Amino acid sequence: MPDNKAAVLVEIATELIVNELKRRAVAKGMTVDELVAEAQTQWQQAEDATDELSREGHDQG
């Protein structure tokens, strides 16, 4: 359904912006060391999520 697809896209765009605003608010209270440490954790999460995304649709069985 195209209506549903449009709704999903708007939901995705909204989530991206809301999450970014939250991150910006949190970052204000963090030290440089904390920012770098948290970034390391998030980059690892991104790598794991990307690996999972790459496998999706190609799973055996």
Partner 1 sequence: MKSFLTAILIVYSLFLTACPKDTAVRKAAKASYELSGITVDVVNATKKAYDAGIIGLAAKDRLAGYEKTITSGGKHFNDVLSGYIAQTAGNLTADQVKILNTILSDQLVTPFLAILQELALISLDQVAYLRTAIAALRTAILIISGTIADAGFPDASRRLAYAG
Is the CB of residue 41 less than 8 Å from the CB of residue 49? no
Is residue 61 a contact point for partner 1 (CB under 8 A)? no
Q: Is the four-CA dihedral 39, 41, 42, 44 of positive or negative sign?
A: positive
Is residue 25 a contact point for partner 1 (CB under 8 A)? no
Residues 38-57: x/- map of binding to partner 1 (CB under 8 A)? xxx-xxxxxx-xxx-xx-xx
User: Three-state secondary structure along 28-49?
Assistant: HCCCHHHHHHHHHHHHHHHHHH
Name the residues that contact partner 1, by CB under 8 A: 2, 4-6, 8-17, 19-21, 23-24, 27, 30, 32-33, 35-36, 38-40, 42-47, 49-51, 53-54, 56-57
